[in-house]
Amino acid sequence: MSTDTQTRARGPLEGYLVVDLSRALAGPHASMMLADLGARVIKVENPGMGDDTRGWGPPFVGPDDNLQSTYFLSCNRNKESIALDLKSDDGRAVLRDLLLRADVVVENFRPGVLDRLGFSPEAMHELNPSLVILSITGFGHDGPESSRSGYDQILQGEAGLMSLTGSGPDDPQRVGVPIADLLSGMYGAFGLLAALLQRERTGEGQIVRTSLLAALVGVHAFQGTRATVAGEVPEAQGNHHPSIAPYGLFACRDGSVQISIGSEKLWATFAAEFGFDPARAEWATNAHRVRNRESLKAAITDAFAHFDAAPLLHKLGQAGIPAGKVRSLDEVYQWDQALSQGLLIDVEHDVLGKISLPGPPLRFFSPADTAETTNTTHSAPPVLNQHGSEIRDWLNRAVEGI
C-alpha cells in the first residue's frame, strides 16, 4: 500500500493508492466511491482539456475565463489531478512510477487502447504483480460487439431498460440519470474490493471487468425472470408496479401522492381507511388486484380526489400506509431527513470557493458504542493538474528514498 506525507481522509481504504485513468462517468464514479472510503485517488487526465466531462454543459459555473462543469463536479470529489500525455516519454514514465506504487488502477478505455500505449494488463502486472485493475467497457471486453462505443443512453436502449420505462409500450424513456454508467461504476467498485480481499490472502492482483451492458442486465431483477422463466415480455406501464397493486402514483385534488401496498395486511388497512371492501372478489388478493388494476386505480383516484396532498399524506402516515410525494431536487437538498444522512456536503473548491455537493451514501459506526466513524473530511473535485507538481515531487522523493 502507498504512503504519502500529506494528511488524507481516514476510512476503510486509508493507505491504498488508486490510479484513475478513466474519464466521463462509469470509471470516475467507481474511483470516487473508493476516494469516499479513504483511498488516495490520483486522477490522470489529458493535458489541455482534461476529462471529457470538464466540457459537458451547460450548466457551467465560475468566472468566464475559468468556467467549471457541474457535471465534472458530480463525480470527482476527494481526488487529486495530474495531467499526463501518455503518448510522450515523460507521461509514460510518470505513469509507470505511479503504477509501481499503486494498489488499484481504474480504466474505461475501449478494448485495446491502453495496449497500444504500452500499458496492457500484462504490462501493468509485470510492473506490479499485486495490482488490481478495474476495467469498464460499454458492451463487454469480448464478443461480437465488444468494439462498440458505450454511451449511457445507447445502452439503456440496447439493454432493455428503456422498454420498461415510460408511460406505455409506445413511449420508451431513458432514466433521468446516466444509470448505466453509475451502475457499472458501482458493480466495478464492488468487484474491485472483492479482488483486494483476495489479494490479502494470495498477494496477487487480478483484473476485474464489467460493462454498461452487464450492469443493466444485472438489475433487470424480477423483470428479467418474467422474461426468462415466465416467458413474458415486460413492457413499460408508467408509474404503477407490474406485479403489485395498488403500488404507484395517484392524483389527488392539488397534486399527487405515491402509495405502496405490499402486503394483504396493508391492503386491509388501506381499504378500511378509504371505504373499500377488502374482500371484494376482484380485489381480494394481490393477484386479483393486479389483474383488475384499472378498476382499482379508478376507485382510488375517485377516493383521493377529495383530498389535498398534505392532509392525504398525513392520513396515510397515521394509518401506517407507506406513502410519499414526488420531490424536486431542490426540495431533496433542503429536506431535513436527507441532510441528517450526510447527503449534502460543503467543500472548498480552488476556483469556485465554498460549494455544496451531493454527499456519499455510506455511513460507518463502531460496534462497541455505535459511535459514528464515517469520514466527514472531503475535498472538492480538482481543477486540471491541480496536484501535478506535488505528485511528481512525491514520486521523486520516493525514488530517492526520502
Residues with catalytic roles: 181
What is the residue type of 396?
N
Question: Is the CB of residue 7 less than 8 Å from the CB of residue 14?
Answer: no
Provide DSSP, 165-196: SSSSTT-----SS-HHHHHHHHHHHHHHHHHH
Question: Is the CB of residue 310 less than 8 Å from the CB of residue 252?
Answer: no
| Contacts with 115 (C-beta within 8 Å, 6 or more apart), sequence order | none
Which grid coordinates are listed for 281? 372478489
Rg (CA), the chain: 25
Provide DSSP, 136-163: EESS-SSSTTTTS---HHHHHHHTTHHH
Which grid coordinates are listed for 160? 432493455
Query: What whole-number distance in Å separates Cα of residue 138 and Cα of residue 209?
Result: 11
Which residue has cell 476510512?
A: 11
Q: Which is it for strands 255-260 and 323-324: parallel, antiparallel or unpaired?
A: antiparallel
| Contacts with 315 (C-beta within 8 Å, 6 or more apart), sequence order | 273, 307
